[in-house]
Amino acid sequence: MKKLFQKKYIFAFLIALSFAVFYFGCDQSKHTLTGDAASQVYIAPGTYDEFYAFMSGGFSGQLTVYGLPSGRKFKVISVFSQNPETGWGYSEETKDMLNTSYGFAPWDDAHHPQLSKTDGIADGRFVFINGNNTPRIAKIDLKEFETTEIIELPNSGGNHASPFVTENTEYIVASTRFSVPIPQADIPISSYKENFAGSISFVKLDPATEKMNVEFQIIVPGFNYDLARAGKGPSKDWAFFTSYNTEQAHTLLEINASRNDKDFIAAVNWKLAEKYLNEGKAKTMQAEYFRNYMDKKTHSAVSEKNTQVKVLYPEDCPGMIYYLPTPKSPHGVDVDPSGEYIVAGGKLASVIPIHSFSKMIKAIEDKQFDGEIDGIPILKYDAVIAGEVENPGLGPLHTEFDDNGFAYTSAFISSEIVKWKLGTWEVVDRTPAYYSIGHLMIPGGDTKKPFGKYVVALNKITKDRYLPTGPELTHSAQLIDISGDKMKLLLDFPTAGEPHYAQAIRANLIMEKAIKFYRIEDNHHPHSIKGEKESKVVREGNVVRVYMSSIRSHFSPDNIEGIKVGDVVYFHLTNLEQDWDIPHGFAIKGMNNGEILVMPGVTRTIKWEPKKPGIYPFYCTDFCSALHQEMSGYVRVSPAGSDVKLSYSLGE
């Protein structure tokens, strides 16, 4: 008996060993023990993902670029927050990008990336993203993967419902989450109902100059405007905005803004609004707001202050805006690929209501109104509703679409994605999300041509999904295969900041246009140098300008003397490299800001005010070559009033 027992052990051990060989024999990322999910997201080393995904950084204020299906992170694009890693918002060339009417605003909360569109399909030119806190919209150029313009929105109390683009990116729309007095005023908060208002902004993208401009705003009743989508196809001249707090509460909104049975979706005919604007129906309002852009010739930010904005009032503009009653504090509003259905995510509702665009037009023609608010007719619910999805999960928020007539709605409270059929409104599948899903994203899922291959769940809570990292955990995204009848979870991957919303586009629409370096001939920065011969150090009173160049593997000059305590030193570093993937970085001991990371062909400037005499080493921070460690130099700082002559050299 004892002997047999031992044999059993030996046998079990051998079997276990075999499984171990089996398990570790395959590359862990490819092994098939859990089905073929791993192979569906495995992108072999040195090969490319099928999609670029642009995920908002939420409270990080930035935008992160990932590959799908791998979930590999490629780049954090600095947008609204200073980034000492690149010098964004620290260097003299970039800090003006963060100017606002409230002064320098080095942080924001970035929620909704939105790719530019042509004919209702993402075109890969730009991605826009909103600054939620200090209302702004940023434009990122996808040739460079850099922020090239940020415009502030006046008359806005918080820019959440933004930036959603019209079918050909004629306009980027935005509406104010928090109502405030318009124009601003020092009045009691309790006078909300009498004095607070909302605004809906239409930011025009000039097709020739690619410049953003707040073309007009519509002043609307003081509700909270939450999310938006522009129409497409038949509804392309319209844009839709959800609202909550039609109760107009100004305190304890949790209870007080949830009383009404229905709130509204505002449907705005922007073509008609544009016509009213051209007919002179707009009033000019004084309003201070900034537009900042990167000048292409100097690679430097230019800040413009605007002082006026055109506003339209609904009562002056019949037919421009209608309210669609929508159950229970609707959050998301999403338009299906055909442009006919307008899906609302009533976060406290027990159904998902779907409005019909054609019924809405007919109801307007037939004047099927149920009263009006401040000149905005309220359409009858029964006259515009196309259907309701029953049992859609608890807390439905957002909906995206595939190319087979299905819609996918995120349900926050029940933490799941619910798949349902357009037209029959029947739920056909559901899959859990780990945990508390907010937005969800299908590549092209908000366009006329979705790629119904994957949906990405963007989750608010992570809990036990990863190794714990203290009280704060990474936010997480989950990739789910939607190519079959049943949704199938493929991958969890952590994200930077909060991945609030995301957009994805086929890689080939962007990668071929992406530039590899900036031509030095096109660098018209006033402090650039076009060759090492031009490097120099110039004193202008207590300002010292170092015109420095970098190339593998030295700076010119690399020895500088005659700097004095009290001087303000500007290092203007021009990277003379003309090769892909060769930025040089610059940092000097004791600097009180960030490094500068200088792309090939670009000039960047960092300010330095040395406070103590001594020798200060500087060096290249971005590993550039075999002799990167040698890429360094010294600055000698002498006491104020010293007679050490200003001098500079290289190789002497």
Partner 1 sequence: MKKVVLLIYLVTLTALSGIMLISCGESEQQDSSRFSNQRASGNPGNVTSLSDFELEHGIGPIKQIMELTSLDNNLAKEGEKIFDSKCAACHKLDDRYVGPPQRDVLERRTPEFVMNMMLNPEENYQKHPEIKKLLGEYLTQMPNQNLSVQDARAVLEYFRKVKDEK
Stretch that binds partner 1, among 359-367, 421-429, 545-553, 634-642 (CB under 8 A): 545-553
Residue from 21, 189, 208, 252 binding partner 1 (CB under 8 A): 21
**129 touches 163 (CB < 8 A):** yes
Binding status of residue 31 toward partner 1 by CB under 8 A:
yes
Within 10 A of 187 (CB to CB), how many other CB atoms are there? 12
Beta strands in 402-542 (DSSP E): 406-411, 416-421, 427-432, 437-441, 454-459, 475-481, 488-495, 502-506, 536-540
One-letter identity of residue 403: D
Residue (339 or 557) nearer to partner 1, CB: 557
Query: CB of residue 6 vs partner 1: minimum separation in angstroms?
Result: 11
Is 208 a binding residue for partner 1 by CB under 8 A? The answer is no
H, E, C per residue of 201-224: EEEEECCCCCCEEEEEEEEEECCE
Coil, helix or strand for 262? Answer: strand
Report, in Å, the least distance between residue 50 CB and partner 1: 5
Stretch that binds partner 1, among 8-16, 157-165, 316-324, 458-466 (CB under 8 A): 8-16
484 binds partner 1 (CB under 8 A): no
Dihedral sign for Cα 391, 394, 398, 403, please: negative
Nearest of 345, 365, 280, 348 to residue 316 by alpha carbon: 280
Binding residue (CB under 8 A) for partner 1 from 358, 474, 625, 638: 625
Q: Does residue 577 touch partner 1 according to CB under 8 A?
A: yes
Q: Does 584 bind partner 1 (CB under 8 A)?
A: no
Q: Which stretch binds partner 1 (CB under 8 A): 108-116, 432-440, 481-489, 578-586?
A: 578-586
CB of 625 to partner 1, least distance (A): 7
Q: How far is CA 607 from CA 10, 30, 150, in A?
A: 71, 49, 23
Minimum distance between the CB of residue 12 and partner 1, rounded to whole angstroms? 10
Q: Which of 63, 76, 335, 520 binds partner 1 (CB under 8 A)?
A: 520
* 543-551 and 568-575 beta bridge pairing: parallel
93 near partner 1, judged by CB under 8 A: no
**DSSP one-letter string for 276-342:** HHHTT-PEEEEEEEEEEEEETTTTEEEEEEEEEEEEE-GGGSTTSEEEEEEESSEEEEEE-TTS-EE
Least gap, CB of 549 to partner 1 (angstroms): 6
CA distances to 87, 171, 350, 367, 379 from 361, rounded to whole Å, are: 51, 22, 26, 10, 10
Contact status: 15 vs partner 1 (CB under 8 A): yes
Which of 78, 478, 556, 603 touches partner 1 (CB under 8 A)? 556
In sequence order, the 6+-apart residues with CB closer than 8 A to the CB of 147 are 77, 78, 79, 88, 97, 138, 139, 140, 294
Query: By CB under 8 A, is residue 598 in contact with partner 1?
Result: no
| Joined tokens for residue 597 | 């990371």
Q: Minimum Å distance from CB 599 to partner 1?
A: 14
Residue 466 interacts with partner 1 (CB under 8 A)? no
With binding defined as CB under 8 A, does residue 19 bind partner 1?
yes
H helix runs in 61-185, sequence order: none
C-alpha span between 106 and 61 (Å, rounded): 9
Q: Note whether 523 and 598 are within 8 A (CB).
A: no
The per-residue b/e assignment along 353-371, b for 16 or more CB within 10 angstroms, e otherwise, is bbbbbebbeebbeeebeee
One-letter amino acid at 444 equals G
Give how many residues touch partner 1 by CB under 8 A.
50
Q: Which is nearer to partner 1, 239 or 582 (CB)?
A: 582
**Considering only residues 62, 292, 549, 603, which one is a binding residue for partner 1 as defined by CB under 8 A?**
549
Task: Kindly state the smallest distance separating residue 576's Cβ from partner 1, in Å.
Answer: 6
**According to the binding rule CB under 8 A, does residue 622 interact with partner 1?**
no
CA distances 48 to 45, 136, 145, 154, 486, Å, are 8, 33, 17, 42, 27
Q: Is 490 in the site for partner 1 (CB under 8 A)?
A: no
Is residue 589 part of the contact set for partner 1 (CB under 8 A)? no
Residue from 204, 552, 589, 607 in contact with partner 1 (CB under 8 A): 552
Rule CB under 8 A: choose which of 133, 260, 356, 553 binds partner 1: 553
Of 32-91, which residues contact partner 1 (CB under 8 A)? 32, 36, 38-39, 42-44, 46-50
For the bound state, the minimum distance from the C-beta of residue 256 to partner 1, rounded and expressed in Å, comes to 51
10 binds partner 1 per the rule CB under 8 A: yes
Please tell me whether residue 371 binds partner 1 under the rule CB under 8 A. no
How does DSSP classify residue 508?
A: H
Pick 25 or 526: Cβ nearer partner 1:
25
CB distance 80 to 150 below 8 Å: yes
Q: Is 537 in the site for partner 1 (CB under 8 A)?
A: no
User: Rounded to whole angstroms, what are the CA distances from 105 to 52, 134, 178?
Assistant: 29, 8, 19
Q: Does 530 participate in binding partner 1 (rule CB under 8 A)?
A: yes
Stretch that binds partner 1, among 179-187, 315-323, 457-465, 516-524 (CB under 8 A): 516-524
The nearest distance, CB 33 to partner 1, in angstroms, is 9
- What single-letter amino acid sits at 201? S
Q: Does 27 engage in binding with partner 1 (CB under 8 A)?
A: yes
- Report the residue number, 429 or 532, with the smaller CB distance to partner 1: 532
> 474, 578, 621, 632: which one contacts partner 1 (CB under 8 A)?
578
Shortest Å distance, C-beta 13 to partner 1:
9
Task: Indicate the residue among 72 and 362 with the shorter CB distance to partner 1.
Answer: 72
Does 100 bind partner 1 (CB under 8 A)? Our answer is no
CA 358, 364, 367, 372 torsion-angle sign: positive
Nearer to partner 1 (CB atom), residue 158 or residue 443: 443
Q: Interacting stretch for partner 1, rule CB under 8 A, among 77-85, 548-556, 559-567, 587-595?
A: 548-556
Q: Does 627 bind partner 1 (CB under 8 A)?
A: yes
Distances (CA, A) of 430 to 435, 489, 621: 14, 11, 49
- Residues that bind partner 1 in the complex, under the rule CB under 8 A: 7, 10-11, 14-15, 18-19, 21-22, 25-27, 30-32, 36, 38-39, 42-44, 46-50, 507-508, 517, 520-521, 530-533, 549, 551-554, 556, 576-579, 582, 625-627, 651
